């Protein structure tokens, strides 16, 4: 997942500075697999996923986005993308990535201003669908575009996170096939 | 599930090796960028049998600048220390 994210992203925050993390969670949001990425990303995702996953009626091809520090986020540039993993029609697990974006719409240049209010630090995204059943949720896209200075690049890096999650979904299914829990490859 | 039970058992066994008691440490950040006051981070770690309580009660309260730490990030820092 991490290699896919690094290769697909545009921002040097992700491609060179490697400020991103990937993990897999059970269908109740309990962490069961993590890469050796950023400890503060992984620990805070692990702390919050149980509450986050309860907030949605998950369906195949949904993707949820969040950066709210009061809902398990870190700081606003760290955007989390969560993809459910369905096996034989039932919710089995989640793939999640968190990455530090170069532009989250803060008041000054860069992603971390000297600020005294969280709203000076950029766009606060409460947990919401980035896509629902495979279709882009325009409301969320508009929300991002309303505040970001360079929405195209940030959106591209969010898409890279979605791709990384898809890789996690596919590889977990491959593992289930290899272990004999799934009859055939069902990507 | 078995993996998590195993991890739980390993962690509890490791904690049991630590003598019971309260272990305390303190450190300070220079300031929050708005005032020149140092920001104290004090932690008390209480070990009791196979359980540990990590207490940040004596840490400075929240500051005007952007160094405040939500509960999930505090938890992440604690997880990290105990995974090493």
Q: DSSP strand E in A35-77: where?
A: 63-66
The nearest CA of chain A is from the CA of B65 a distance in Å of 5
Residue among A86, A93, A83, A87 nearest A63 (CA):
A83
Burial of A171 (0-12, 13-18, 19+ CB in 10 A): middle
pLDDT, mean of residues B74-81:
92
Model pLDDT for residues A16-54, shown as the tens digit of each residue? 999 999 999 999 999 999 998 898 999 999 988 999 999
Residue A160 — φ and ψ, nearest 5°?
-65, -35
SS3 call for A35:
coil
pLDDT, mean of residues B12-39:
96
Query: Which residue among A43, A112, A113 sits closest to B76, beta carbon to beta carbon?
Result: A43
CA distance A133 to B42: 47
Model pLDDT for residues A144-171, shown as the tens digit of each residue? 999 999 999 999 999 999 999 999 999 9
- Sorting pLDDT into bands at 50, 70 and 90, what band is B3? confident
Q: Tell me the whole-structure pTM to 2 decimals.
A: 0.92
pLDDT, mean of residues A133-151:
94
- Sorting pLDDT into bands at 50, 70 and 90, what band is B1? confident
Angle at which helices A151-178 and A138-147 cross, to 10°: 140
Q: Which residues of B touch A40 (CB under 8 A)?
A: 73, 76-77, 80
The nearest CA of chain B is from the CA of A127 a distance in Å of 15
SS3 call for A128:
strand
Q: What is the pLDDT of residue A72?
A: 87
Which is it for strands B51-55 and A20-26: parallel, antiparallel or unpaired?
A: unpaired
Please count the other Cβ atoms lying within 10 Å of the Cβ belonging to residue B49: 10
- A85-95: string of b/e by CB count within 10 Å (b at 16+)? bbbeeebbbbb
Residue among B61, B58, B2, B72 nearest B37 (CA):
B61
Sheet arrangement for strand A31-34? A31-34, A20-26, A90-100, A78-87, A63-66, A128-132, A135-136
């Amino acid at each position: 997942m991490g290699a896919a994210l690094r290769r697909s992203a545009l921002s040097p925050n992700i491609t060179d500075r490697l400020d991103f993390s990937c993990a897999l969670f059970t269908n109740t949001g309990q962490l069961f697999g993590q890469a050796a990425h950023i400890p503060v990303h992984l620990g805070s995702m692990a702390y919050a996923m149980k509450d986050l996953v309860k907030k949605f009626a998950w369906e195949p091809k949904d993707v949820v986005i969040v950066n709210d520090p009061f809902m398990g986020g870190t700081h606003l540039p760290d955007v989390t993308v969560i993809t459910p993993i369905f096996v034989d029609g039932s919710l089995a697990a989640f793939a999640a990535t968190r990455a530090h974006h170069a532009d989250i719409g803060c008041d000054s240049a860069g992603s971390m201003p000297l600020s005294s209010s969280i709203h000076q630090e950029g766009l606060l995204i409460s947990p919401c669908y980035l896509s629902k059943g495979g279709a882009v949720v325009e409301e969320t896209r508009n929300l991002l575009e309303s505040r970001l200075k360079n929405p195209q690049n940030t959106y591209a890096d969010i898409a890279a996170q979605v791709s990384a999650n898809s890789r996690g979904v596919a590889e977990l299914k491959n593992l289930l096939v290899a272990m004999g829990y799934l009859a055939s490859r069902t990507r | 599930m078995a993996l998590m039970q195993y991890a739980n058992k390993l962690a509890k066994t490791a904690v049991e090796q630590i003598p019971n008691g309260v272990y305390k440490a303190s450190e300070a950040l220079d300031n929050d960028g708005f005032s020149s006051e140092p920001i104290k981070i004090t932690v008390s770690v209480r070990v009791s049998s196979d359980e540990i309580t990590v207490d940040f009660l004596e840490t400075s309260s929240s500051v005007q600048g952007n160094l405040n730490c939500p509960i999930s990030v505090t938890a992440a820092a604690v997880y990290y220390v105990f995974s090493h």
